[in-house]
Structures are given as structure tokens and as C-alpha cells.
């Protein structure tokens, strides 16, 4: 990282200043002079000239945003929202802020897994809604936060209709105290420690000759399923370990040790953290005891009624007791699902249970007047986590997915596969002859009517372009990693409708009085609290959803082609990564609007995609959360010359030479995408090694260009 002197704030660059074009340096200095820019401007390793703002720049602003980038809020939860943890506890997001933890996640097919996560505060003074579930639990979150539905898709909180069934997390304990989790795809119960192992958190599962493989809980707490507390052992070795602990470790059982243990527990119980932990643990143990050893529990409490009956009878006979009983018995409560009025809370509880059933479905969603700071978890592997309320929610560009195939599954010629992909996914200006009719997209089209009237005639085009690649540097690739496994990767955006919305709002911003004296009119901004800002955020929120939906639709079509080409193929969890967007985030203790133009988020643990050019390498990365880059990284190699320069400098023969071994177009129509027109991706990755770490290195063997 190198510091470049700016006009108002400095520029922190991850590229050598001598390698940045002079026109791009001028743009960075223009950005640094804006009165709304916060702290500094960050320039990624792939930085180069762009319209208004440089591509590869990260700009944080206070109460302002430039419509030169497309963006969307990050959905989050209030700090008191509780999360189910692998160690058997529940903890609030506020308590977890800044910490790593292990949580339950779920695949689209309904397979519950475990994954590592990092909590962070993401937004201050956010607008909220309350989601009430049929179990009586409620969740407070931002209106845009995505909840996972039973079919594996997602829907924002403010679009959840009464009766919507959410993906549930059902847990229980067996007679030995081990946590059981019900797999939604099969209904079978599975021990949580084996879920941790099957999720890869314990590494490769070894085989022990002549022994069953079992999992040992190091602290002997069967409910604590943190990966660091679990150890894979042979069954005989495990039994021997327990015998040694009992027979040889006399100090462990000594009276002196027991006295000191009890004293330490008592001291911890006097602290707020210890009191809360023991109270939660005690509640869990009592409930489990009542459920699993019911006869013993009933015997233990058999005398309670006789001892308490005289006091209760005396209270009930008193005038105060009679009045309270009448009040509670006659209070009417309205069922949110059907509108029926039922007397008392107990009556309402029984009505919900027996009339509607408990299936983790939505009862209602209400907007709230209060505003609060909000938090979320970054869950890179799965993109979702389970709340203590028992439902899965999404955590807070491009898409990539690993397959079960290797290079040995590929034919000698990939030309036929490329042709099939191009037939399934239109490229360039082409659209689907018949728009995709997907049930999950219907809400998107219903909201189209709320967009600025200037785009009302583009509905047909927007529908036809959903699930299409577009042009420019958009691509669909088939890649091999260093272990010879095949990955699918694609890059696309919000197509013509997103471009049209952006141009409309950029034009509106240029006409505002506060933008008249800017060094570059393309840097025009909207200010918080204005109608122009509200209209802009409404439209770009929709456009960002369209872009995400477009990538999901294309990835589905791409996977269908591969399934037909080489059945059966298993696909891993998709890595989704977007760039050219705006989000509300907290940096250096302040709430700011962060614009990433040609940059990706690289928060601590965030998975991302950094592609090279066709014929070079690409990378799946994990963010390191560097605060000086506003937790960002480059979105690719970055151009080192314009498209026009590339066409003048190179020939089709150059293109064929530089794309040897890659099945792709090799004609003048894609000459401006020749690898030599881009920076060296290896050097770009070296320059940002303090921003990301490499998870997988990929090389292209097939590329479809827009």
C-alpha cells in the first residue's frame, strides 16, 4: 500500500503509483477533493481509468452517494437477535460482534451443515420490521434481509406473506445429552458432532483398522460441538482414554480439586457473563431433564403442589387474586393468522398450536417506528445461518461453483459444450425468445411498476434479458483448479435495464445545485434525506436484485447444460460476489456509504472471486478484513489499455496465440478482450496479499464471451 497525496483526503493505493495512468491519477485526486468523502480514498491493485470515478476505487462518503455505481443495502438484524451456536449456547449478535463462531447453515436442498462465521456491526440507525412466526418467536431486522424458504430460495423480510413456510432448524437431545439435528431434506435426525465432521470442519475423516470411527468431546460436554472440542478416534482407543482418566487421574477426582473447582464456578457466577451463561445452561438442562426423564421429574416435584397449594388458595380467595383471575381469563387476544379472538394468552397459544400447527411459518410482518444499529454474520461457505428462533436467514457480481467432475470427464474437444452453453444462454444483445417463467421472479416483476416512469417501456426487454450474458467483459467459463477439479464461473450484471436506470439518475444528479462546481460532473452525488436519494435507492435496490437474479438464472441454465453433458454431476455451494455497488457500513467508527466501483467486499472471512482474463488464471479468495481498503479487494486484473487501443495494437493471430488451450471465440469480435489488454493477474494478486488469501487457483479451459 502506498499513499498518494490528494486534495482533501489522501489516496491509499495497492498499485504502484508509477503504473497508474495519469488520467486515472487525476480522477483519484478529483474524488479526494469532494467534501463528502470520508477518511481516505482506496485504489485497488487493478485501478484504471473509468467514467467519472476510476474503476478499482473504493469511496466512503458521509450522507451522500454517487449514482455512477449500482448498489443495494446489506440486510441485517438488531443486536439482541439470538443465534444458535455449535457449542450448544445461544448468543446475541451484539455479544458476538467482532468474534468468530461456529453456526448451523443449510444448503438449498435442505441439508443442515456447520460452518464458521464472523459477526460484525454493519449499519447504524437502520429502519426495521418485525417478523412474527407461528411458534410465537419474533425477529427484528431490516426490511431487505433475506429469509430462507422451505424450497431453498430466499425472500426479503418485507415481502414475506402470512403462511410463508421458512426453512427450519429442529434440534433435540438424546438420553446421553448429545445434540440431535433433523435434516430437512430427509427428516432423519443426525448427531450434531457428525454434522461438524461431514461439513469438513474436522479435516479428513480417518479410518481405524478394526475399530469404528467415533468423535470424542474433549471437555466431556456432549452439547459442545465446536470443531476445536471434537477429536476423531477409534472406538477402542476412545474407551481406553476414558478408562485412563478414571483409573489414573486421581487428582482430577481429589477433594482439593473439587473444592477449588466449585470455588472457581462460584466466582464466575458472580460476573454478569457467568451469571448469564449459567442461567442459560440451567434452563436448557431443566427443560431437557423434564423432557427426557419425565417420570423422575414428576417424582421430584410431586410434593410441590401440596406445599404451595395453601399459599395459592389463599391468594386466589383474596379480592386481589379474584380480580387478577377475572382479568386474565377474559382478556381477548387476536390470532394474527385467521383473525379469531381467543380468551387469554394460554388460549391463544393453544389455538395457534392446534388450529394452525407449528411449522416455522410467517404469521405477519409489521414495520416498526424505532431504528437501531444492526449486525450480521459473514458465513462464506454457505451464505446463511440459523437464528435461535429456528429459521435460516441469508448472511450479508460474479458466481462460481465447484463440481464433482475432473478434467478426465472432459472430451478432447470442448467446442460442442461451448455451443450448447451459447444456445442455452443468449450473449451480446440477444434475449430469450420466450422470457423465463420462474415462480421466484414474480415479485421482481410486480415491483417493476414502482420504478421511475422513464423505464416503463422497458419491461418486455428486461424480462427477455433475464438469464442472459450481455456483452463487454461479461463471461461464462469452465475452469480447472490445481487439484484438477472443474469449476463453473460467470460474470454478468443488471443488463440494459440497470444501465438505463443508472443513466437516468446520473443525469438527474448533474442538474442538482450542489453538484455545479465539482471538478468532474460525472462525480455528481445525491444527498441523504432528499427525494432524489430516496428515488435512486429504490431503483438501484431493484436493479441490484435483478442483477443477482440474472446470475442465479444463468447459473441454473449453465448447470442444466453440464448435467445433460455429463450426468450425474454434483454441484457444490455457489460463491456469489458482486461489484459496482453501494452499501451502508461502519468504518473507523462512523456510518458511511461505501461505493465499490470495480471492487469486491473482502471482509474478514468473506469469500470472493477475482478473475483474470480469458487464457489466464482466476482466484477464489477469502477476505482478510483490512480496514485501510474499507475491507475491499480488486474485482479482477484490470485493463491496462482501452478497448480501442487493444483493437489497433493486436491482431486475430495474437488473440489465437494468447488463448492457446482455451475453447473460445478467436475472431475480431472479441479482440478487445485479448489477455494482453489486461494487467498481469499474478502481480495484482501479489500487490493485494494483505487484503485476501487464495482459497483456489483456477485456469480457464472454456470461455464464452459476450
Catalytic residues: 635
List residues bridging with 190 in a β-sheet: 181
Instruction: State the Cα–Cα distance between residues 394 and 398, nearest whole angstrom.
Output: 17
CA distances, 437 to each of 434, 460, 478, 534, 553 (Å): 9, 13, 26, 30, 11
Instruction: State the Cα–Cα distance between residues 451 and 21, nearest whole angstrom.
Output: 38
Give the DSSP letter string of 572-640.
-PPEEE--SEEEEEEETTEEEEEEEESEEE--TT-EEEE---TTSEEEEEEE---GGGTSEEESSS-BS
CA distances, 68 to each of 10, 383, 541, 642, 706 (Å): 21, 28, 14, 19, 22
Nearest to 214 by CA among 176, 170, 248: 176
The Cβ of residue 175 has, within 10 Å, a number of other Cβ atoms equal to 8
Terminal-residue alpha carbon distance, the chain: 34
Whether 44 and 629 have beta carbons less than 8 Å apart is answered as yes
Instruction: State the Cα–Cα distance between residues 491 and 493, nearest whole angstrom.
Output: 7
List residues bridging with 375 in a β-sheet: 77, 121
Whether 464 and 435 have beta carbons less than 8 Å apart is answered as yes
For residue 568, whether the previous peptide bond is cis, meaning omega lies within 30 degrees of 0, is: yes
Nearest to 491 by CA among 474, 515, 509, 503: 474
List residues bridging with 120 in a β-sheet: 376
Give the DSSP letter string of 115-160.
EEEEEEEEEEEEEEEEEEETTS-EEEE-TTPEEEBTTS-EEEGGGP
List residues bridging with 12 in a β-sheet: 3, 42
User: What's the chain's length in residues?
Assistant: 706
3-state SS class at 371: strand
Give ∠ CA 327-329-331 in degrees, rounded to 5: 65
Whether 677 and 646 have beta carbons less than 8 Å apart is answered as yes
List residues bridging with 639 in a β-sheet: 678
Residue pointed to by grid coordinates 464472523:
118
Instruction: State the Cα–Cα distance between residues 543 and 501, nearest whole angstrom.
Output: 8
Whether 546 and 494 have beta carbons less than 8 Å apart is answered as yes
C-alpha cell at 379: 458465513
Give ∠ CA 346-350-354 in degrees, rounded to 5: 175
Q: 491-516: string of b/e by CB count within 10 Å (b at 16+)?
A: bbbbbbbbebbbebbbebbeeeeebe
Residue pointed to by grid coordinates 457428525:
194
Residue pointed to by grid coordinates 482459497:
695
Amino acid at each position: 500500500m502506498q499513499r498518494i497525496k490528494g486534495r482533501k483526503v489522501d489516496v491509499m493505493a495497492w498499485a504502484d503509483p508509477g503504473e497508474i495512468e495519469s488520467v486515472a491519477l487525476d480522477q483519484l485526486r478529483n474524488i479526494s477533493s469532494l467534501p463528502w468523502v470520508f477518511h481516505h480514498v482506496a485504489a485497488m491493485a487493478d485501478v484504471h481509468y473509468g467514467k467519472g470515478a476510476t474503476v478499482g476505487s473504493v469511496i466512503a462518503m458521509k450522507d451522500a452517494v454517487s449514482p455512477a455505481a449500482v448498489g443495494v443495502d446489506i440486510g441485517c438484524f438488531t443486536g439482541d437477535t439470538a443465534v444458535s451456536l455449535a457449542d450448544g449456547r445461544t448468543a446475541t449478535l451484539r455479544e458476538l460482534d467482532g468474534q468468530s463462531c461456529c453456526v448451523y447453515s443449510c444448503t438449498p436442498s435442505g441439508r443442515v451443515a456447520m460452518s464458521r462465521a464472523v459477526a460484525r456491526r454493519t449499519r447504524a440507525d437502520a429502519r426495521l420490521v418485525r417478523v412474527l412466526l407461528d411458534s410465537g418467536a419474533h425477529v427484528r431486522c431490516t426490511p431487505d434481509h433475506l429469509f430462507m424458504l422451505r424450497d431453498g430460495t430466499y425472500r426479503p423480510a418485507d415481502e414475506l406473506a402470512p403462511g410463508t413456510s421458512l426453512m427450519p432448524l429442529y434440534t433435540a437431545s438424546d438420553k446421553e445429552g448429545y445434540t440431535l439435528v433433523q435434516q430437512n431434506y430427509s427428516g432423519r435426525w443426525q448427531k450434531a458432532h457428525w454434522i461438524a465432521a461431514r461439513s469438513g470442519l474436522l479435516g479428513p475423516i480417518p479410518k481405524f483398522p478394526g475399530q469404528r470411527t467415533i468423535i470424542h468431546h474433549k471437555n466431556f460436554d456432549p452439547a459442545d460441538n465446536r470443531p476445536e472440542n471434537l477429536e476423531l478416534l477409534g472406538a477402542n482407543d476412545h474407551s481406553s482414554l476414558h478408562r485412563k482418566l478414571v483409573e489414573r487421574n486421581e487428582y482430577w477426582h481429589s477433594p482439593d480439586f473439587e473444592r477449588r473447582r466449585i470455588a472457581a464456578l462460584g466466582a464466575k457466577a458472580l460476573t454478569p457473563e457467568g451469571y448469564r451463561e449459567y442461567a442459560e445452561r440451567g434452563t436448557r438442562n431443566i427443560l431437557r431433564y423434564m423432557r427426557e426423564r419425565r417420570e423422575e421429574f414428576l417424582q421430584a416435584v410431586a410434593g410441590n403442589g401440596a406445599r404451595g397449594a395453601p399459599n395459592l388458595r389463599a391468594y386466589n380467595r383474596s379480592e386481589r387474586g379474584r380480580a387478577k383471575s377475572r382479568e386474565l381469563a377474559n382478556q381477548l387476544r387476536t390470532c394474527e393468522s385467521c383473525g379469531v379472538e381467543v380468551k387469554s394468552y394460554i388460549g391463544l397459544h393453544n389455538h395457534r398450536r392446534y388450529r394452525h400447527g407449528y411449522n416455522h411459518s410467517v404469521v405477519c410482518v409489521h414495520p416498526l417506528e424505532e431504528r437501531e444499529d444492526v449486525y450480521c454474520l459473514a458465513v462464506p461457505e454457505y451464505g446463511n445461518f440459523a437464528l435461535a428462533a429456528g429459521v435460516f436467514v441469508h448472511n450479508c457480481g460474479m458466481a462460481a461453483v465447484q463440481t464433482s467432475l475432473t478434467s478426465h470427464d472432459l472430451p478432447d474437444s470442448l467446442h460442442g459444450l461451448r455451443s450448447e452453453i451459447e444456445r442455452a444462454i443468449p450473449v451480446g444483445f440477444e434475449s430469450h425468445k420466450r422470457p423465463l417463467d420462474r415462480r421466484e421472479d414474480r415479485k421482481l416483476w410486480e415491483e417493476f411498476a414502482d420504478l421511475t416512469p422513464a423505464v416503463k417501456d422497458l419491461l418486455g426487454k428486461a424480462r427477455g434479458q433475464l438469464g442472459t450474458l450481455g456483452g463487454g467483459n461479461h463471461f461464462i467459463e469452465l475452469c480447472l483448479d490445481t487439484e484438477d477439479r472443474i469449476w463453473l464461473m460467470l460474470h454478468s450484471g443488471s443488463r440494459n435495464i440497470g444501465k438505463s436506470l443508472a443513466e437516468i439518475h446520473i443525469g438527474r444528479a448533474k442538474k442538482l445545485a450542489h453538484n455545479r462546481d465539482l471538478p468532474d460532473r460525472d462525480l455528481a452525488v445525491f444527498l441523504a434525506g432528499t427525494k432524489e436519494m430516496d428515488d435512486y435507492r429504490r431503483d438501484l435496490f431493484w436493479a441490484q436484485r435483478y442483477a443477482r437474479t440474472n446470475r442465479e438464472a444463468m447459473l441454473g441454465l449453465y448447470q442444466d447444460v453440464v448435467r445433460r453433458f455429463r450426468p450425474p454431476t454434483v454441484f457444490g455451494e455457489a460463491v456469489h460476489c458482486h461489484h459496482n455497488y453501494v452499501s451502508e457500513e461502519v468504518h473507523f467508527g462512523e456510518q458511511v456509504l461505501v461505493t465499490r466501483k470495480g471492487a469486491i467486499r473482502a471482509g474478514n472471512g468473506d469469500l470472493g472471486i477475482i478473475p483474470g482474463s480469458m487464457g489466464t488464471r482466476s482466484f477464489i479468495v477469502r477476505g482478510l478484513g483490512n480496514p485501510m481498503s474499507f475491507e475491499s479487494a480488486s474485482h479482477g486484473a484490470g485493463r491496462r489499455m482501452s478497448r480501442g487501443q487493444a483493437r489497433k495494437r493486436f491482431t486475430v493471430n495474437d488473440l489465437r496465440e494468447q488463448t492457446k488451450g482455451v475453447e473460445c471465440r478467436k475472431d475480431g469480435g472479441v479482440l478487445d478482450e485479448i489477455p494482453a489488454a489486461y494487467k498481469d493477474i499474478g502481480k495484482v494478486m501479489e500487490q493485494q496479499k494483505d487484503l485476501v488469501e487464495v482459497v483456489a487457483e483456477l485456469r480457464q479451459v472454456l470461455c464464452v464471451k459476450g
